[in-house]
Amino acid sequence: MLLASLNPASDDIADAVRIDGTVLSRSDLVGAATAAAERVAGAGRVAVLATPSAATVLAVAGCLIAGVPFVPVPADVGATERRHIVGDSGAQAWLGEVPEEAEGLPHIPVRLHARSWHRYAEPPSEATALIMYTSGTTGAPKGVVMSRAAIAADIDALAEAWQWTPSDTLVHGLPLYHVHGLVLGLLGSLRIGNRFVHTGRPKPELYAQAGGSLYFGVPTVWSRIAGDGDAARALASARLLVSGSAPLPVPVFDRLAELTGHAPVERYGSTETLITISTLADGERRPGWVGLPLRGIETRLVDEQGGLVPHDAESIGALQVRGPTMFDGYLNRPDATADALDSDGWYRTGDVAVIDADGMHRIVGRESVDLIKSGGYRIGAGEIETALLGHPGVVEAAVVGLPDDDLGQRIVAFVVGDAEPQALTDYVAQQLSVHKRPREVRLVESLPRNAMGKVLKKELMQWH
Protein backbone atom coordinates (compact mmCIF):
# COMPACT_ATOMS: atom_id res chain seq x y z
CA MET A 1 0.00 0.00 0.00
CA LEU A 2 1.17 3.56 -0.69
CA LEU A 3 0.86 4.68 2.94
CA ALA A 4 2.44 1.54 4.34
CA SER A 5 2.96 2.93 7.82
CA LEU A 6 -0.77 3.68 8.17
CA ASN A 7 -1.65 0.00 8.14
CA PRO A 8 -3.58 -0.43 11.42
CA ALA A 9 -1.31 -3.38 12.23
CA SER A 10 1.73 -1.07 12.35
CA ASP A 11 3.29 -0.36 15.72
CA ASP A 12 1.94 2.81 17.33
CA ILE A 13 4.34 5.73 17.74
CA ALA A 14 3.41 8.42 20.24
CA ASP A 15 4.86 11.26 18.16
CA ALA A 16 4.58 10.07 14.58
CA VAL A 17 3.86 13.62 13.36
CA ARG A 18 4.72 16.95 14.97
CA ILE A 19 3.42 20.04 13.17
CA ASP A 20 2.08 23.48 14.12
CA GLY A 21 2.03 22.68 17.84
CA THR A 22 0.10 19.43 17.31
CA VAL A 23 1.48 15.97 18.04
CA LEU A 24 -0.20 12.97 16.42
CA SER A 25 0.49 9.39 17.39
CA ARG A 26 0.37 6.74 14.69
CA SER A 27 -3.09 5.63 15.86
CA ASP A 28 -4.25 9.29 15.99
CA LEU A 29 -3.07 9.71 12.43
CA VAL A 30 -4.76 6.55 11.16
CA GLY A 31 -8.05 7.24 12.97
CA ALA A 32 -8.35 10.92 12.07
CA ALA A 33 -7.20 10.45 8.46
CA THR A 34 -9.67 7.61 7.99
CA ALA A 35 -12.41 9.85 9.39
CA ALA A 36 -11.42 12.44 6.78
CA ALA A 37 -11.47 9.71 4.13
CA GLU A 38 -15.09 8.91 5.01
CA ARG A 39 -16.04 12.53 4.38
CA VAL A 40 -14.63 12.59 0.83
CA ALA A 41 -15.00 8.97 -0.30
CA GLY A 42 -16.53 8.90 -3.74
CA ALA A 43 -15.50 12.44 -4.68
CA GLY A 44 -13.80 12.89 -8.01
CA ARG A 45 -11.17 15.38 -6.89
CA VAL A 46 -10.69 17.78 -3.95
CA ALA A 47 -8.50 20.81 -3.25
CA VAL A 48 -6.31 20.99 -0.14
CA LEU A 49 -5.10 24.38 1.06
CA ALA A 50 -1.54 23.29 1.82
CA THR A 51 -0.76 25.12 5.04
CA PRO A 52 1.83 23.58 7.39
CA SER A 53 -0.83 22.19 9.74
CA ALA A 54 -2.22 18.97 11.13
CA ALA A 55 -5.38 19.58 9.06
CA THR A 56 -3.30 19.42 5.87
CA VAL A 57 -1.55 16.22 6.96
CA LEU A 58 -4.89 14.55 7.71
CA ALA A 59 -6.53 15.85 4.53
CA VAL A 60 -3.73 14.49 2.37
CA ALA A 61 -3.63 11.14 4.17
CA GLY A 62 -7.42 10.92 4.08
CA CYS A 63 -7.52 11.42 0.33
CA LEU A 64 -4.90 8.75 -0.24
CA ILE A 65 -6.73 6.30 2.02
CA ALA A 66 -10.01 6.94 0.18
CA GLY A 67 -8.40 6.91 -3.25
CA VAL A 68 -9.54 10.46 -4.01
CA PRO A 69 -7.05 12.56 -6.03
CA PHE A 70 -6.17 15.83 -4.32
CA VAL A 71 -4.84 19.15 -5.56
CA PRO A 72 -2.43 20.93 -3.17
CA VAL A 73 -3.02 24.70 -3.38
CA PRO A 74 -0.41 27.12 -2.00
CA ALA A 75 -1.80 29.15 0.87
CA ASP A 76 -0.10 32.33 -0.34
CA VAL A 77 -0.99 32.01 -4.02
CA GLY A 78 -2.53 35.01 -5.78
CA ALA A 79 -6.23 35.12 -6.51
CA THR A 80 -5.82 34.68 -10.27
CA GLU A 81 -3.57 31.66 -9.93
CA ARG A 82 -5.77 30.06 -7.24
CA ARG A 83 -8.81 30.52 -9.47
CA HIS A 84 -6.95 28.88 -12.34
CA ILE A 85 -5.82 25.90 -10.25
CA VAL A 86 -9.29 25.29 -8.80
CA GLY A 87 -11.05 25.72 -12.12
CA ASP A 88 -8.58 23.80 -14.28
CA SER A 89 -8.34 20.87 -11.85
CA GLY A 90 -12.08 20.39 -11.53
CA ALA A 91 -11.83 20.17 -7.73
CA GLN A 92 -15.25 19.65 -6.16
CA ALA A 93 -14.58 20.87 -2.61
CA TRP A 94 -11.97 22.14 -0.16
CA LEU A 95 -10.87 19.51 2.35
CA GLY A 96 -9.27 20.79 5.56
CA GLU A 97 -8.70 24.52 5.71
CA VAL A 98 -10.32 26.91 3.26
CA PRO A 99 -9.09 30.25 1.84
CA GLU A 100 -11.08 33.46 2.26
CA GLU A 101 -12.04 33.24 -1.40
CA ALA A 102 -13.33 29.67 -1.75
CA GLU A 103 -13.97 30.07 -5.51
CA GLY A 104 -17.50 28.74 -5.07
CA LEU A 105 -16.46 25.34 -3.71
CA PRO A 106 -18.04 23.78 -0.60
CA HIS A 107 -15.85 23.27 2.47
CA ILE A 108 -15.35 19.91 4.15
CA PRO A 109 -13.54 20.45 7.46
CA VAL A 110 -11.09 17.96 8.97
CA ARG A 111 -11.72 17.16 12.61
CA LEU A 112 -8.49 16.45 14.48
CA HIS A 113 -10.24 14.46 17.21
CA ALA A 114 -12.53 12.43 14.96
CA ARG A 115 -11.71 8.72 14.68
CA SER A 116 -12.73 5.99 12.26
CA TRP A 117 -11.37 2.48 11.88
CA HIS A 118 -13.10 1.69 8.61
CA ARG A 119 -10.90 -0.32 6.26
CA TYR A 120 -10.63 0.90 2.69
CA ALA A 121 -9.38 -1.30 -0.12
CA GLU A 122 -6.07 -0.15 -1.55
CA PRO A 123 -6.74 1.74 -4.80
CA PRO A 124 -5.06 0.49 -8.00
CA SER A 125 -1.39 1.48 -8.23
CA GLU A 126 -2.00 3.25 -11.54
CA ALA A 127 -4.70 5.47 -9.99
CA THR A 128 -4.00 9.19 -9.71
CA ALA A 129 -2.77 10.22 -6.27
CA LEU A 130 -2.44 13.96 -6.76
CA ILE A 131 -2.36 16.77 -9.27
CA MET A 132 0.38 19.27 -8.49
CA TYR A 133 0.55 22.55 -10.38
CA THR A 134 3.87 23.75 -11.72
CA SER A 135 5.23 27.19 -10.92
CA GLY A 136 3.98 28.56 -14.22
CA THR A 137 7.23 30.09 -15.47
CA THR A 138 6.02 29.56 -19.05
CA GLY A 139 2.38 30.63 -18.93
CA ALA A 140 -0.40 29.53 -16.61
CA PRO A 141 0.55 26.70 -14.21
CA LYS A 142 0.01 23.20 -15.59
CA GLY A 143 -1.47 20.36 -13.55
CA VAL A 144 0.97 17.47 -13.28
CA VAL A 145 -0.91 14.18 -12.88
CA MET A 146 1.01 11.80 -10.61
CA SER A 147 0.09 8.18 -9.95
CA ARG A 148 0.32 6.24 -6.71
CA ALA A 149 2.81 3.88 -8.37
CA ALA A 150 5.15 6.70 -9.38
CA ILE A 151 5.20 8.13 -5.85
CA ALA A 152 5.80 4.72 -4.28
CA ALA A 153 8.61 3.93 -6.74
CA ASP A 154 10.34 7.22 -6.02
CA ILE A 155 10.13 6.99 -2.24
CA ASP A 156 11.38 3.40 -2.29
CA ALA A 157 14.32 4.32 -4.54
CA LEU A 158 15.23 7.23 -2.25
CA ALA A 159 14.95 5.02 0.81
CA GLU A 160 17.54 2.76 -0.80
CA ALA A 161 19.81 5.63 -1.85
CA TRP A 162 19.64 7.45 1.48
CA GLN A 163 19.37 4.38 3.76
CA TRP A 164 16.12 5.94 4.98
CA THR A 165 14.33 3.74 7.54
CA PRO A 166 11.51 3.84 10.10
CA SER A 167 14.09 4.64 12.79
CA ASP A 168 14.77 8.07 11.23
CA THR A 169 13.25 11.35 12.37
CA LEU A 170 12.78 13.55 9.31
CA VAL A 171 12.79 17.31 9.86
CA HIS A 172 11.97 20.13 7.46
CA GLY A 173 10.13 23.45 7.31
CA LEU A 174 9.34 23.49 3.58
CA PRO A 175 5.99 24.17 1.88
CA LEU A 176 3.56 21.26 1.61
CA TYR A 177 2.59 22.06 -1.97
CA HIS A 178 5.84 21.08 -3.74
CA VAL A 179 7.48 17.72 -4.35
CA HIS A 180 10.24 18.45 -1.83
CA GLY A 181 8.09 19.15 1.21
CA LEU A 182 4.92 17.22 0.35
CA VAL A 183 5.90 14.10 -1.61
CA LEU A 184 9.36 13.48 -0.16
CA GLY A 185 8.86 14.92 3.30
CA LEU A 186 5.29 14.03 4.24
CA LEU A 187 4.33 11.15 1.93
CA GLY A 188 7.82 9.69 2.25
CA SER A 189 7.44 9.60 6.02
CA LEU A 190 3.94 8.10 5.81
CA ARG A 191 5.21 5.35 3.51
CA ILE A 192 8.43 4.55 5.34
CA GLY A 193 7.07 5.00 8.86
CA ASN A 194 9.65 7.38 10.31
CA ARG A 195 8.81 10.24 12.66
CA PHE A 196 7.99 13.46 10.80
CA VAL A 197 8.66 16.93 12.24
CA HIS A 198 7.60 20.09 10.41
CA THR A 199 9.17 23.22 11.88
CA GLY A 200 6.61 25.63 10.43
CA ARG A 201 9.32 27.78 8.91
CA PRO A 202 12.80 26.59 7.97
CA LYS A 203 14.65 28.72 10.50
CA PRO A 204 18.14 27.65 11.62
CA GLU A 205 17.23 27.69 15.31
CA LEU A 206 14.15 25.51 14.70
CA TYR A 207 16.18 22.97 12.73
CA ALA A 208 18.76 22.96 15.51
CA GLN A 209 16.11 22.25 18.17
CA ALA A 210 14.30 19.49 16.28
CA GLY A 211 16.62 16.59 17.07
CA GLY A 212 16.30 14.93 13.68
CA SER A 213 18.41 12.32 11.95
CA LEU A 214 17.41 13.36 8.42
CA TYR A 215 16.97 17.00 7.38
CA PHE A 216 15.58 18.45 4.14
CA GLY A 217 16.31 22.00 3.00
CA VAL A 218 16.64 24.19 -0.07
CA PRO A 219 19.93 26.05 -0.64
CA THR A 220 18.60 29.25 0.96
CA VAL A 221 17.90 27.31 4.15
CA TRP A 222 21.31 25.65 4.16
CA SER A 223 23.01 28.98 3.48
CA ARG A 224 21.36 30.48 6.56
CA ILE A 225 22.28 27.48 8.67
CA ALA A 226 25.86 27.63 7.42
CA GLY A 227 25.89 31.26 8.54
CA ASP A 228 24.72 30.33 12.05
CA GLY A 229 27.56 28.39 13.65
CA ASP A 230 25.57 27.24 16.69
CA ALA A 231 22.66 25.98 14.60
CA ALA A 232 24.97 24.20 12.17
CA ARG A 233 26.96 22.49 14.92
CA ALA A 234 23.70 21.31 16.50
CA LEU A 235 23.11 19.21 13.36
CA ALA A 236 26.30 17.22 13.90
CA SER A 237 24.27 14.43 15.51
CA ALA A 238 22.11 14.03 12.39
CA ARG A 239 22.64 11.23 9.89
CA LEU A 240 21.97 13.02 6.60
CA LEU A 241 21.47 16.60 5.35
CA VAL A 242 19.66 16.68 2.01
CA SER A 243 19.62 19.71 -0.31
CA GLY A 244 17.50 20.15 -3.41
CA SER A 245 15.09 22.27 -5.50
CA ALA A 246 17.97 24.51 -6.65
CA PRO A 247 21.77 24.19 -6.95
CA LEU A 248 23.65 24.28 -3.64
CA PRO A 249 26.52 26.81 -3.88
CA VAL A 250 29.88 25.11 -3.36
CA PRO A 251 30.91 27.51 -0.55
CA VAL A 252 27.74 26.57 1.36
CA PHE A 253 28.45 22.87 0.79
CA ASP A 254 31.97 23.30 2.13
CA ARG A 255 30.89 25.37 5.14
CA LEU A 256 28.19 22.87 6.11
CA ALA A 257 30.67 20.02 5.89
CA GLU A 258 33.08 21.94 8.08
CA LEU A 259 30.55 22.89 10.78
CA THR A 260 28.35 19.79 10.88
CA GLY A 261 30.77 17.07 9.86
CA HIS A 262 28.34 16.08 7.08
CA ALA A 263 28.87 16.65 3.37
CA PRO A 264 25.31 17.36 2.16
CA VAL A 265 23.48 14.94 -0.10
CA GLU A 266 22.33 16.67 -3.28
CA ARG A 267 19.62 15.38 -5.58
CA TYR A 268 17.81 16.36 -8.76
CA GLY A 269 14.28 16.05 -10.05
CA SER A 270 11.18 17.92 -11.10
CA THR A 271 7.45 17.99 -10.49
CA GLU A 272 6.96 15.83 -13.59
CA THR A 273 9.51 13.16 -12.71
CA LEU A 274 9.88 13.38 -8.93
CA ILE A 275 13.49 12.74 -7.86
CA THR A 276 15.54 10.89 -10.45
CA ILE A 277 19.20 11.51 -9.53
CA SER A 278 20.94 11.69 -6.16
CA THR A 279 24.22 11.30 -4.39
CA LEU A 280 24.19 8.31 -2.06
CA ALA A 281 24.36 8.00 1.70
CA ASP A 282 27.36 5.69 1.33
CA GLY A 283 28.75 7.16 -1.90
CA GLU A 284 30.77 10.11 -3.14
CA ARG A 285 29.32 13.56 -2.45
CA ARG A 286 31.02 15.93 -4.84
CA PRO A 287 30.28 19.66 -4.49
CA GLY A 288 28.28 20.91 -7.48
CA TRP A 289 27.29 17.40 -8.63
CA VAL A 290 23.90 15.79 -8.01
CA GLY A 291 24.92 12.16 -8.21
CA LEU A 292 23.73 9.01 -9.96
CA PRO A 293 20.39 7.88 -11.39
CA LEU A 294 18.16 6.20 -8.81
CA ARG A 295 17.19 2.55 -9.18
CA GLY A 296 15.07 2.13 -12.31
CA ILE A 297 15.94 5.53 -13.78
CA GLU A 298 17.68 6.00 -17.14
CA THR A 299 19.26 9.27 -18.27
CA ARG A 300 20.80 10.55 -21.47
CA LEU A 301 22.26 13.75 -22.89
CA VAL A 302 21.38 14.83 -26.42
CA ASP A 303 22.71 17.58 -28.65
CA GLU A 304 20.69 20.01 -30.77
CA GLN A 305 20.41 17.44 -33.56
CA GLY A 306 19.22 14.71 -31.21
CA GLY A 307 22.54 12.83 -31.13
CA LEU A 308 23.96 11.42 -27.92
CA VAL A 309 26.51 13.54 -26.04
CA PRO A 310 29.56 11.76 -24.57
CA HIS A 311 29.93 11.24 -20.82
CA ASP A 312 33.25 13.02 -20.46
CA ALA A 313 32.43 15.48 -17.64
CA GLU A 314 32.83 18.37 -20.09
CA SER A 315 30.35 18.05 -22.97
CA ILE A 316 27.03 19.78 -22.31
CA GLY A 317 23.79 18.25 -23.51
CA ALA A 318 20.05 18.44 -22.95
CA LEU A 319 19.12 16.06 -20.14
CA GLN A 320 16.37 13.50 -20.70
CA VAL A 321 15.14 10.94 -18.17
CA ARG A 322 12.72 8.02 -18.03
CA GLY A 323 11.65 5.43 -15.50
CA PRO A 324 8.88 4.42 -13.10
CA THR A 325 8.61 7.82 -11.40
CA MET A 326 7.33 9.71 -14.46
CA PHE A 327 4.08 11.66 -14.43
CA ASP A 328 1.02 10.60 -16.43
CA GLY A 329 0.81 13.87 -18.34
CA TYR A 330 -0.44 17.43 -17.90
CA LEU A 331 -4.11 17.70 -17.01
CA ASN A 332 -6.19 18.95 -19.95
CA ARG A 333 -2.99 19.64 -21.93
CA PRO A 334 -2.24 16.83 -24.42
CA ASP A 335 -0.20 19.30 -26.48
CA ALA A 336 2.11 20.14 -23.59
CA THR A 337 2.36 16.45 -22.66
CA ALA A 338 3.43 15.57 -26.20
CA ASP A 339 6.07 18.32 -26.09
CA ALA A 340 7.49 16.98 -22.83
CA LEU A 341 7.37 13.20 -23.35
CA ASP A 342 8.48 11.37 -26.49
CA SER A 343 6.95 8.12 -27.73
CA ASP A 344 9.60 6.07 -25.92
CA GLY A 345 8.86 7.61 -22.55
CA TRP A 346 11.84 10.01 -22.40
CA TYR A 347 11.01 13.22 -20.55
CA ARG A 348 12.64 16.35 -21.88
CA THR A 349 13.66 18.07 -18.65
CA GLY A 350 14.56 21.42 -20.18
CA ASP A 351 17.82 21.27 -18.21
CA VAL A 352 21.33 20.94 -19.56
CA ALA A 353 23.94 18.82 -17.84
CA VAL A 354 27.23 16.99 -18.05
CA ILE A 355 27.88 13.38 -17.02
CA ASP A 356 31.28 11.91 -16.18
CA ALA A 357 32.60 8.45 -17.01
CA ASP A 358 31.32 7.08 -13.69
CA GLY A 359 27.78 8.33 -14.29
CA MET A 360 27.92 11.32 -11.93
CA HIS A 361 25.69 14.18 -13.10
CA ARG A 362 26.24 17.91 -12.87
CA ILE A 363 23.30 20.15 -13.77
CA VAL A 364 24.43 23.17 -15.77
CA GLY A 365 21.01 24.81 -15.55
CA ARG A 366 17.91 25.51 -17.60
CA GLU A 367 18.38 25.20 -21.32
CA SER A 368 16.42 28.43 -21.84
CA VAL A 369 18.39 30.67 -19.47
CA ASP A 370 21.49 28.83 -18.22
CA LEU A 371 23.00 27.62 -21.48
CA ILE A 372 24.79 30.65 -22.89
CA LYS A 373 26.00 30.63 -26.50
CA SER A 374 28.70 33.28 -26.70
CA GLY A 375 31.31 33.72 -29.38
CA GLY A 376 30.73 30.19 -30.67
CA TYR A 377 31.10 28.58 -27.23
CA ARG A 378 28.42 26.72 -25.24
CA ILE A 379 28.85 27.93 -21.66
CA GLY A 380 27.01 26.88 -18.51
CA ALA A 381 25.94 29.75 -16.26
CA GLY A 382 26.31 27.58 -13.16
CA GLU A 383 30.03 27.15 -13.60
CA ILE A 384 30.51 30.92 -13.65
CA GLU A 385 28.22 31.38 -10.64
CA THR A 386 30.27 28.84 -8.68
CA ALA A 387 33.46 30.68 -9.55
CA LEU A 388 31.98 34.03 -8.49
CA LEU A 389 30.80 32.61 -5.17
CA GLY A 390 34.38 31.67 -4.41
CA HIS A 391 35.28 35.37 -4.21
CA PRO A 392 35.11 36.78 -0.65
CA GLY A 393 33.26 39.89 -1.86
CA VAL A 394 30.33 37.90 -3.32
CA VAL A 395 27.29 36.84 -1.27
CA GLU A 396 25.00 35.76 -4.12
CA ALA A 397 25.44 35.53 -7.87
CA ALA A 398 23.29 34.79 -10.90
CA VAL A 399 24.57 34.69 -14.47
CA VAL A 400 22.55 35.05 -17.67
CA GLY A 401 23.20 35.53 -21.36
CA LEU A 402 21.84 38.73 -22.89
CA PRO A 403 21.58 39.45 -26.62
CA ASP A 404 24.78 40.80 -28.19
CA ASP A 405 25.28 41.81 -31.82
CA ASP A 406 28.86 40.60 -31.87
CA LEU A 407 28.91 37.54 -29.58
CA GLY A 408 25.35 36.33 -30.00
CA GLN A 409 25.00 36.45 -26.23
CA ARG A 410 27.19 38.23 -23.72
CA ILE A 411 27.71 36.90 -20.21
CA VAL A 412 26.18 39.19 -17.58
CA ALA A 413 26.55 38.54 -13.84
CA PHE A 414 24.18 39.94 -11.21
CA VAL A 415 26.00 40.01 -7.89
CA VAL A 416 25.01 40.73 -4.31
CA GLY A 417 28.17 41.82 -2.48
CA ASP A 418 30.78 44.52 -2.21
CA ALA A 419 33.41 43.45 -4.73
CA GLU A 420 34.46 45.69 -7.61
CA PRO A 421 32.92 44.56 -10.92
CA GLN A 422 36.24 44.58 -12.81
CA ALA A 423 37.87 42.58 -10.03
CA LEU A 424 35.16 39.93 -10.41
CA THR A 425 35.61 39.77 -14.18
CA ASP A 426 39.35 39.28 -13.71
CA TYR A 427 38.77 36.73 -10.97
CA VAL A 428 36.57 34.53 -13.17
CA ALA A 429 39.08 34.78 -16.03
CA GLN A 430 41.74 33.44 -13.66
CA GLN A 431 39.52 30.59 -12.41
CA LEU A 432 38.00 29.50 -15.73
CA SER A 433 38.70 29.79 -19.43
CA VAL A 434 38.92 33.42 -20.44
CA HIS A 435 35.88 33.19 -22.74
CA LYS A 436 33.74 32.36 -19.68
CA ARG A 437 34.41 35.66 -17.94
CA PRO A 438 31.44 38.02 -17.48
CA ARG A 439 31.44 40.84 -19.99
CA GLU A 440 29.36 42.83 -17.52
CA VAL A 441 28.93 42.64 -13.72
CA ARG A 442 25.95 44.38 -12.14
CA LEU A 443 25.85 44.86 -8.36
CA VAL A 444 22.31 44.49 -6.96
CA GLU A 445 20.70 44.53 -3.52
CA SER A 446 19.06 41.11 -3.91
CA LEU A 447 18.13 38.47 -6.48
CA PRO A 448 14.52 37.63 -7.32
CA ARG A 449 13.62 34.13 -6.08
CA ASN A 450 10.54 31.92 -5.91
CA ALA A 451 9.23 30.14 -2.80
CA MET A 452 11.72 27.28 -3.21
CA GLY A 453 14.73 29.58 -3.48
CA LYS A 454 15.25 29.34 -7.23
CA VAL A 455 16.50 32.53 -8.88
CA LEU A 456 13.97 33.87 -11.37
CA LYS A 457 16.34 34.37 -14.26
CA LYS A 458 13.72 35.35 -16.78
CA GLU A 459 12.89 38.25 -14.50
CA LEU A 460 16.58 39.11 -14.19
CA MET A 461 16.88 39.21 -17.96
CA GLN A 462 14.35 42.04 -18.01
CA TRP A 463 16.41 44.18 -15.60
CA HIS A 464 18.25 47.04 -17.26
pLDDT digits (tens, 9 = 90+) for 162-190: 999 999 999 999 999 999 999 999 999 99
**Confidence at residue 273, expressed as pLDDT on a 0 to 100 scale:** 97
- Does the pLDDT at position 114 exceed 80? yes
CATH top class, domain 371-460: alpha beta
CB-facing half-sphere around the CA of 255: CA atoms within 13 A: 19
Same fold, 4-196 and 371-460: no
What residues form DSSP beta bridges with 107? 94
Query: Confidence class of residue 262 from pLDDT cuts 50, 70 and 90?
Result: very high
> What average pLDDT does this structure show over 66-95?
93
**Confidence at residue 119, expressed as pLDDT on a 0 to 100 scale:** 92
- Looking at CATH, the fold of the domain delimited by 4-196 is given as Rossmann fold (3.40.50)
Domain boundaries, the chain: 4-196, 371-460
**Confidence at residue 140, expressed as pLDDT on a 0 to 100 scale:** 79
**Confidence at residue 58, expressed as pLDDT on a 0 to 100 scale:** 98
**Confidence at residue 250, expressed as pLDDT on a 0 to 100 scale:** 85
pLDDT digits (tens, 9 = 90+) for 387-408: 898 899 999 899 998 888 778 8
Query: Confidence class of residue 228 from pLDDT cuts 50, 70 and 90?
Result: very high
pLDDT digits (tens, 9 = 90+) for 359-392: 999 998 888 777 788 877 778 888 888 889 889 9
Is 113 exposed, middle or buried, given 0-12, 13-18 or 19+ CB atoms closer than 10 A?
exposed
Q: What residue type is assigned to position 17 of the chain?
A: V
> What average pLDDT does this structure show over 202-208?
96
> What average pLDDT does this structure show over 281-300?
96
| CA–CA separation, 210 and 362 (whole Å) | 32
What whole-number percentage of the chain has pLDDT above 70?
97
Q: What residue type is assigned to position 464 of the chain?
A: H
Q: What are phi and psi of 417, to 5 degrees?
A: 160, -170
The answer to whether 5 and 166 have CB atoms below 8 angstroms apart is: yes
**Confidence at residue 137, expressed as pLDDT on a 0 to 100 scale:** 53
Query: Confidence class of residue 418 from pLDDT cuts 50, 70 and 90?
Result: very high
| CA–CA separation, 188 and 158 (whole Å) | 9
**Confidence at residue 299, expressed as pLDDT on a 0 to 100 scale:** 98
**Confidence at residue 190, expressed as pLDDT on a 0 to 100 scale:** 95
The answer to whether 437 and 425 have CB atoms below 8 angstroms apart is: yes
**Cα 427 → chain centroid:** 32
Q: What residue type is assigned to position 403 of the chain?
A: P
**Confidence at residue 464, expressed as pLDDT on a 0 to 100 scale:** 61
Mean per-residue pLDDT over the chain, rounded: 92
**Confidence at residue 265, expressed as pLDDT on a 0 to 100 scale:** 97
Q: What is the pTM of this model?
A: 0.86
Query: Confidence class of residue 136 from pLDDT cuts 50, 70 and 90?
Result: low
Query: Confidence class of residue 452 from pLDDT cuts 50, 70 and 90?
Result: low
The answer to whether 166 and 193 have CB atoms below 8 angstroms apart is: yes
> What average pLDDT does this structure show over 246-262?
91
**Confidence at residue 460, expressed as pLDDT on a 0 to 100 scale:** 86
